[in-house]
Chains A and B, each alone.
Chain A
Amino acid sequence: MKQSITINGKQHEIDVDGNMPLLWFLRDHLEYTGTKFGCGKGLCGACTVHIDGVATRSCITPVSTLADKKITTIEGLSENGDHPLQKAWLKNNVPQCGYCQAGQIMNAASFLATNAAPSEDEIDMAMQGNICRCGTYQRIKKAISDAADELSKEA
């Protein structure tokens, strides 16, 4: 019997070589192109998704290791694009080219889930693995703080 994984709430059979990184299973097989290829070595964070809620570099994660796991990609982070981070990203006009931002948002979402009121240093520490070549870091920091503030109001 073939293994399956759940992506954004939908079950998919793993009908590819089990060594294929999740990134390419998402992009080329399922055509979920929101998750981006940046380096292929887990160095830049552009491919970040959640595996059972934990931010993971999909470019170095073989699909065979993901049987019965729940995957969330940027397309599934919120139903209506209204996750507090997505709203904060809009409010701060964070993206320039935007290519790295799905990875940034996914990484930040997993981080905020474990640290609802992060300090600036903690944001730096958590987000170090995500490169933005356009240089939107200042706004990313601000947007994460804003989202944390909103989450604390909701709580």
Chain B
Amino acid sequence: MTVSNVSRRDFLKTASIATGGLVVSVALPQSALAEKGIMQDSAFNPNAFIHLQENGDTIIYCGRCEMGQGISTALPAAVADEMDADWTRVTVKQADGNEEKYGPQATGGSASIRRMFEPMRQAGAAAKYMLIAAAAKVWKTETENCYAQEHFVFNKVTNQKLSYGQLASIAANMPVPTKPKLKAKSEYKYIGKHLDRHDQGEVVVGKRTYGVDTKLPGLKYAAIVHCPVLGGKLKSVDKTAALAMKGVSAVVEIPRFEVPFGSIGGVAVVADNSWTAQQAVNSLVVDWDLGENAIYDTKTYKQQLVANVEKPATLASERGDIEKAFANASQKVSATYTGGHLSHSPMEPNASVVWVQKDSCEVWASTQSPGDIQKVLGQYLKREPKDITVHVAMAGGAFGRKFKCDYVHEAAVISEKVNAPVQLIWTREEDMRTGYYHSINAQHIEASMDEQGNVTGWLHRAAFPSIASLFNPSLERAPADSLGEVTNHPFGIENFRAESGDAKAHTRIGWYRAVYAIFYGFAFSTFADELAYKAGKDPLSFLKQIYANNNNEKQQENVKRSQAVLELAAAKAGWHNRDELPKGQGIGIAVHYSFRSYVAMAVHVEVDGDNIKVLNVDCAIDCGQILNTDGATAQMEGAVVMGMSLAMSTEVSFKNGAVVNSNFHDYPVMRINDMPNVRVHITDSDESPTGLGEPGVAPFAPALSNAVFAASGKRYRDIPFKPISV
């Protein structure tokens, strides 16, 4: 990795920040970009910035997008730590979309900390050593005689000190160290500690602004209706009633954007406030040609998925000899699991402001992917991506939905048409019905065990419309790499086969917090629990044994760390004393490795008939080094809530090709009265840090299913356990 001076004049020209500061940029190694999957299109040449003013005030830019996961506290604090900056002197600012300057900004896959921890520390350390060099120059001494602490550089010999502010302009002319020495873990001041979020003060007084809050002079407000069926087209629209409404200025037809994550097209109304725009959209008389996906009905589709996994399907991966294992089995067990589509439904619906002018295009958006907005709008407006300015707003929740910025494309079309800045806010109903849904799915597992209860063979069939269908709608089934989590699951099973069942997509499928780990985690950990009972074993010992049976050298770390979090969650939950629980109560346990982090949950429930009450959740995590213990804890608390919503009640259904659900009455996300007591236990680790936004969601549903079985003998294999009929 290299660290280089950015020309201060250039920086000041573009960012117009007070003169006399120190600015550091850091180039990330190319290898940091070579990830498979969602980051594949990210450009190279990133930079991260520290701006230290002459009065000592320090701005640290967060290049990754903030949506509540706390990244804009965790990464800047790592910079401040290595810089020996005083955190109380630091203001965090969200960087605009600019991947050349800030590195990859597409925020997803729990990748921010994993990829940016080291570079951010390098940025902080480089600044520190330049400040030390500046002080040494002033004192005409060697740098070895100087050290930095709390926004000052001290002279060990003379006991003199100079503040960072005093040193800023001198430091700006010092050479940038190519490989600044980083702190040892024992020297961390902020990393690994409990840190308050940098923006809480603004939140509690209503001053934190989100994408939906941008106000500009002359702002017009828009609302939109989309074709309810994927692939449908607008036949005709009667705008008369809408245009007759007071305050309505235009009706704009939005074209379909033929790019991944592009708008599917629709009809928008522009008015002088959002409410009028929403009323006017409702008054449009729209006739759609629904197209071939109008056949989509999730009830029959799910039955078909089940049929497709309960018969031989397309091979995805294989090892050992499963037929032989099955033939020699002392016991054979099988089960089928299903799950429904999910809508991200962040509390802030899709919203942005776009202002397309002759010489500029400015975007203010809650987004997880500013670079994609630049690319798509650049293409649409026939301009360079760099000429699309994207101000990344705080997202009022995102969970993967705001990685796909169709709502921004639409606002741009409207702005161009009406020649004004336009705020487009989707109604909750549009948000629910025009999503990128988590896959509906079915999985069928057959396993063989020997007399000692060792699992000797495992056949895993999964059928679900895959995210890959976004890029290739003609896919008949999930490609083998979408079953990678099945193939590479660290259970030690010698004879193994994964198969992909037919599942053509009829709606848009998108990443939803935890992605495929939701259903893979559910099937693996629930089925393992079922096997344990069939084998007459304690589920915890049984799980540990499946891991212990793993002889793959490359997976020994997975095995060790999975077992360790299992043990930790079990111990904290009182697993070994669970026989003493009152009748009707039980504890279930599950573990899942995803996004390179390990999470185990022990769920303690009380079951009375069909009524399930979750009392406690003990959550053990191992994500390597922790950046912010409070942030990590919050992510797990939130993961339990999202896990409980999807395990118990949320499901998006389609009929005649269209989403049936419309709002929170028929998409009943979890509410406060169901909140269990969540206790988070963090493994002390020196391993490289990995992310936590996604990994907490997967283990909850299987741990719950296992707990309910322990408490009542009833086994839930279909999530949500209690779908509401819509």
Q: Which residue of chain A has the shortest Cβ distance to B219 in the bound complex? A: A28
Q: Which B residues touch A138, using CB under 8 A? A: 637, 675, 677-678
When the two chains form their complex, are residues B637 and A99 in contact, meaning their CB atoms are under 8 A apart? no
Q: Apart from A90-B201, A141-B672, list 8 A-B contacts with CB within 8 A.
A: A36-B210, A43-B665, A97-B347, A97-B398, A98-B199, A102-B206, A136-B634, A137-B670
7 contacts between A and B (CB under 8 A): A29-B273, A31-B215, A33-B213, A36-B396, A90-B200, A99-B347, A133-B669
Q: Does A44 contact B (CB under 8 A)?
A: yes
Among A123, A132, A136, max chain B CB count under 10 A is at A132
Q: B65-73, B412-420, B581-589: which one contacts chain A?
A: B65-73
When the two chains form their complex, are residues A74 and B200 in contact, meaning their CB atoms are under 8 A apart? no
When the two chains form their complex, are residues B212 and A37 in contact, meaning their CB atoms are under 8 A apart? yes
When the two chains form their complex, are residues A21 and B275 in contact, meaning their CB atoms are under 8 A apart? yes
User: Which residues of B186-224 have CB atoms within 8 Å of chain A's CB atoms?
Assistant: 196-197, 199-201, 203-210, 212-213, 215, 221
Q: B113-121, B293-301, B639-647: which one contacts chain A?
A: B639-647
Q: Which B residues touch A98, using CB under 8 A? A: 68, 199-200, 203, 208, 394, 396
Contact with A along B511-551 (1 / 0, CB 8 A): 00000000000000000000000000000000000000000
| Range for the number of chain A residues in contact with chain B | 35 or more
Q: A39-B663, A40-B428 are in contact. Are A101 and B634 (CB under 8 A)?
A: no
* Distance in Å: Cβ of A126 to nearest Cβ of chain B: 9
Q: Does B16 contact A (CB under 8 A)?
A: no
When the two chains form their complex, are residues B640 and A36 in contact, meaning their CB atoms are under 8 A apart? no
When the two chains form their complex, are residues A89 and B425 in contact, meaning their CB atoms are under 8 A apart? no
Q: Which A residues touch B276, using CB under 8 A? A: 17, 20
Q: Which B residues touch A28, using CB under 8 A? A: 221, 272-275
Q: Which A residues touch B275, using CB under 8 A? A: 20-21, 23-24, 28
Q: Does B554 contact A (CB under 8 A)?
A: no
**The residue from A23, A43, A81 contacting B663, defined by CB atoms under 8 A apart:** A43
When the two chains form their complex, are residues A99 and B672 in contact, meaning their CB atoms are under 8 A apart? no
Q: A36-B212, A36-B348, A139-B637 are in contact. Are A105 and B204 (CB under 8 A)?
A: yes
When the two chains form their complex, are residues A135 and B672 in contact, meaning their CB atoms are under 8 A apart? no
Given the complex of chains A and B, what is the CA–CA distance between A90 and B212 in angstroms?
23
When the two chains form their complex, are residues B425 and A37 in contact, meaning their CB atoms are under 8 A apart? yes
**The residue from A89, A99, A127, A140 contacting B396, defined by CB atoms under 8 A apart:** A99
When the two chains form their complex, are residues B672 and A20 in contact, meaning their CB atoms are under 8 A apart? no
Q: Does B185 contact A (CB under 8 A)?
A: no
When the two chains form their complex, are residues B634 and A137 in contact, meaning their CB atoms are under 8 A apart? no
Q: Which B residues touch A105, using CB under 8 A? A: 204
Q: A27-B274, A102-B206 are in contact. Are A41 and B665 (CB under 8 A)?
A: yes
Q: A73-B206, A101-B204 are in contact. Are A38 and B347 (CB under 8 A)?
A: yes
Q: Which B residues touch A35, using CB under 8 A? A: 206
Given the complex of chains A and B, what is the CA–CA distance between A137 and B634 in angstroms?
10
Q: Does B427 contact A (CB under 8 A)?
A: yes
Q: Which B residues touch A102, using CB under 8 A? A: 203, 206
**The residue from B197, B397, B672 contacting A130, defined by CB atoms under 8 A apart:** B672
When the two chains form their complex, are residues B396 and A97 in contact, meaning their CB atoms are under 8 A apart? yes
Q: Which B residues touch A24, using CB under 8 A? A: 273-275
When the two chains form their complex, are residues B639 and A135 in contact, meaning their CB atoms are under 8 A apart? yes
Return the 3 tightest CB-CB contacts between A and B, nearest first: A34-B206, A135-B641, A97-B68
When the two chains form their complex, are residues A81 and B204 in contact, meaning their CB atoms are under 8 A apart? yes
Q: Which residue of chain A has the shortest Cβ distance to B271 in the bound complex? A: A28
When the two chains form their complex, are residues A128 and B278 in contact, meaning their CB atoms are under 8 A apart? no
Q: Does A116 contact B (CB under 8 A)?
A: no
Q: A101-B203, A124-B672 are in contact. Are A135 and B197 (CB under 8 A)?
A: no
Given the complex of chains A and B, what is the CA–CA distance between A138 and B615 in angstroms?
12
Q: A98-B68, A128-B673 are in contact. Are A136 and B203 (CB under 8 A)?
A: no
Q: Does B473 contact A (CB under 8 A)?
A: no
Q: A44-B664, A98-B208 are in contact. Are A133 and B346 (CB under 8 A)?
A: yes
When the two chains form their complex, are residues B428 and A41 in contact, meaning their CB atoms are under 8 A apart? yes
Q: Which residue of chain B has the shortest Cβ distance to A121 in the bound complex? A: B673
**The residue from B273, B395, B672 contacting A140, defined by CB atoms under 8 A apart:** B672
Q: Does B177 contact A (CB under 8 A)?
A: no
When the two chains form their complex, are residues B664 and A136 in contact, meaning their CB atoms are under 8 A apart? no
When the two chains form their complex, are residues A74 and B206 in contact, meaning their CB atoms are under 8 A apart? yes
Given the complex of chains A and B, what is the CA–CA distance between A81 and B673 in angstroms?
27
Given the complex of chains A and B, what is the CA–CA distance between A17 and B247 in angstroms?
10
Q: Does A46 contact B (CB under 8 A)?
A: yes
